[in-house]
């Protein structure tokens, strides 16, 4: 779990490694006399232009990304919207031959990473221990505190239960989400009740009325500098805490275990994402390329969740903060727990289709597991939760909640957005405001960067974005999926 980038080099080659789940994006490009890697498609496009090399729209990828579904809301394969840039999958690092200026991807396929030949009960306890010891270790960092993004749902509840098991819940602060008023009001109410019951204070910036003021001052430029073309969501435009010495804890990443797209084959997944026609055909073609890279048969039951792991889990988990800091932690991103989710039970189902997240929560804190949720999640009583805790080995022992040994200091981790990337975004014309008027003016102008059928496809994307904005009463987040796809086209703009 966690987020990092590590660079090593010698006379012959350079090696770039990052976290197992791919929370840190990695893209590569080569050209006449150069090779480059970055977490930003925008930066690589600008570099290629500065070196007088080509930046061509990948028409199949662009067409596939027009599907009106979150299934197509991020990278779809190793191909990107720029023909000359490649996306590197989770579990894979790169080695650059300095003399040959050649990139080699080093690692194993997602299918191999997630393969498990047995459904082992001990993996739930191992995950609980890892989560609890991690939270204990974070609490030992001098001058630093942790804030948990807490909802009324199950995934962040499991993380909160780990804090309870470690006895650290009163050391936490929490922030809850309320992006769209009454729609998520219940979610917010339950999060507050849960935290109040166990003595966890709200973060002082967790005030819905102040969210707009707490957004980064660079508006759409911050989004464009990292997420444009890679993830179709406005991520860092959401509420941000600005404290430097603070870890962010998330329930995100649980999809690596429990899945998100229905444990189905890729043809069925593409059919859910787009109606018959050019967009679905392009999406299916991209999914076939992705399947080869992932090492999975596209017709396999469960291929959808290997695909989710490869192209959405990490990107989605880190989207809202990764451009600002590398001190986010998603404790449910656990390798053994992910493998358990993809293993078959005795009944033939995938492990992730069961109640493992709830069982994990019960192991950590039976009381937290059965506390109210935003909607009915289970029919367990407290006795049921205690029985499950007993079945999984009983409450964690003192050695199992002891903090991990840590090295170095989080004070040394660079924070803040990349000024280089923000400058490139400014020169590409991205607005410094996140208001809908500025965003839609820029988005519509980007249509002129496309030709032919792709351009007409994106006219439909623009119409859908306007409809969604109206439906959301002018809230830009209501239109973020199609709007992001129009905004990402700015990577094709020459520097102003």
| Predicted pLDDT of residue 282 | 98
3-state secondary structure the chain: CCCCEEEEECCCEEEEEECCCCCCCCEEEEECCEEEEECCHHHHHHHHHHCCCCCCECHHHHHHCCCCCHHHCECCCCECCECCEEECCCCEEEEEECCCCEEEEEECCHHHHHCCCCCCCHHHHHHHHHHHHHHHHHCCCCCCEEEEECCCCCHHHHHHHHHHHHCCCCCEEEECCCCCHHHHHHHHHHHHHHHHHHCCEECCCCCHHHHHHHCCCCCHHHHHHHCCCCECCCHHHCCCCCCCCEEEECCCCCHHHHCCCCCCCHHHHHHHHCCCCHHHHHHHHHHHHHHHHHCCCCCCCCHHHHHHHHHHHHHHHHCCCCCCCCCEECCCCCHHHHHHHHCECCCCCEHHHCCHHHHHHHHHCHHHHHCCCCCCCCCCCHHHHHHHHHHCCCCCCHHHCCCCCCCCCHHHCCCCCCHHHHHHHHHCCCCCCCCHHHHHHHHHHHHHHCCHHHHHHHHHHHHHHHHHHHHCCCCHHHHHHHHHHHHHHHHHCCCC
| Predicted pLDDT of residue 177 | 67
| Predicted pLDDT of residue 181 | 53
User: How do the pLDDT tens digits run along the chain, 496 residues long?
Assistant: 789 999 999 999 999 999 999 999 999 999 999 999 999 999 999 999 999 999 999 999 999 999 999 999 999 999 999 999 999 999 999 999 999 999 999 998 999 989 877 667 789 999 999 999 999 999 999 999 999 999 999 999 999 999 999 999 999 999 886 555 555 678 888 999 999 999 999 887 654 444 444 455 677 998 999 999 999 988 776 545 456 788 999 999 999 999 999 999 999 999 999 999 999 999 999 999 999 999 999 999 999 999 999 999 999 999 988 888 899 999 999 999 999 999 988 888 999 999 999 999 999 999 999 999 988 888 899 999 999 999 999 999 999 999 999 999 999 988 878 889 999 999 999 998 888 999 999 999 999 999 999 999 999 999 999 999 999 999 888 999 999 999 999 999 987 6
| Domain residue spans of the chain | 113-258+313-412
Q: What is the pLDDT of residues 48-72, one digit of tens each?
A: 999 999 999 999 999 999 999 999 9
Fold of domain 113-258+313-412:
Rossmann fold (3.40.50)
| Predicted pLDDT of residue 16 | 96
Q: What is the pTM of this model?
A: 0.94
Q: What is the pLDDT of residues 417-459, one digit of tens each?
A: 888 999 999 999 999 888 899 999 999 999 999 999 999 999 9
């Amino acid at each position: 779990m966690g987020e990092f980038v590590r660079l090593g080099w010698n006379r012959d080659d350079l090696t770039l490694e990052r976290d197992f789940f791919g929370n840190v994006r990695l893209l590569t490009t080569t050209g006449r006399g150069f090779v480059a890697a970055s977490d930003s498609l925008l930066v690589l496009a600008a570099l290629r232009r500065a070196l007088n090399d080509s930046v061509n729209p990948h028409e199949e990828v662009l067409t596939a990304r027009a599907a009106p579904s979150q299934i197509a809301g991020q990278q779809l394969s190793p191909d990107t919207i720029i023909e000359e840039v490649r996306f590197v999958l989770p579990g894979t690092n790169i080695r650059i031959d300095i003399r040959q200026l050649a990139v080699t991807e080093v690692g194993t396929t997602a299918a191999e990473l997630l393969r498990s030949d047995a459904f082992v009960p001990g993996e739930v306890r191992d995950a609980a221990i890892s989560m609890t010891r991690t939270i204990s270790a974070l609490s030992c960092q001098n001058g630093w505190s942790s804030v948990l993004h807490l909802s009324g749902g199950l995934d962040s509840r499991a993380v909160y239960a780990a804090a309870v098991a470690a006895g650290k819940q009163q050391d936490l602060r929490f922030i809850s989400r309320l992006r769209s008023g009454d729609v998520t009001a219940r979610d917010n109410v339950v999060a507050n009740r849960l935290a109040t019951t166990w003595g966890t204070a709200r973060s002082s910036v967790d005030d819905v009325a102040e969210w707009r003021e707490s957004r980064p001052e660079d508006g759409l430029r911050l989004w464009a500098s990292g997420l444009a073309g890679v993830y179709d969501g406005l991520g860092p435009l959401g509420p941000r805490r600005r404290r430097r010495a603070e870890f962010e804890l998330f329930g995100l990443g649980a999809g690596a275990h429990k899945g998100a797209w229905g444990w189905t084959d890729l043809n069925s997944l593409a059919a859910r994402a787009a109606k018959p026609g050019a967009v679905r055909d392009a999406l299916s073609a991209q999914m076939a390329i992705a399947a080869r890279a992932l090492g999975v048969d596209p017709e396999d039951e469960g291929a959808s969740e290997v695909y989710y792991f490869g192209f959405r889990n990490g990107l989605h988990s880190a989207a809202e903060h990764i451009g600002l800091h590398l001190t986010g932690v998603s404790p449910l991103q656990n390798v053994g727990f992910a493998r358990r989710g993809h293993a078959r039970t005795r009944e033939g189902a995938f492990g992730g289709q069961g109640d493992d997240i709830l069982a994990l929560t019960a192991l950590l804190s039976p009381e937290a597991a059965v506390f109210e949720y935003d909607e009915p999640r289970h029919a367990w009583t407290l006795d049921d939760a205690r029985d499950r805790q007993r079945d999984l080995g009983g409450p964690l022992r003192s050695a199992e909640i002891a903090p991990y040994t840590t090295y170095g200091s989080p004070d040394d981790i660079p924070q803040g957005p990349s000024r280089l990337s923000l400058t490139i975004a400014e020169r590409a014309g991205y607005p410094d405001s996140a208001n809908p008027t500025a965003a839609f003016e820029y988005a519509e102008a980007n249509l002129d960067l496309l030709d032919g059928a792709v351009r007409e496809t994106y006219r439909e994307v623009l119409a859908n974005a306007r409809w969604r904005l109206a439906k959301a009463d002018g809230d830009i987040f209501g239109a973020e999926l199609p709007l992001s796809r129009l905004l990402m086209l700015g990577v094709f703009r020459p520097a102003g």
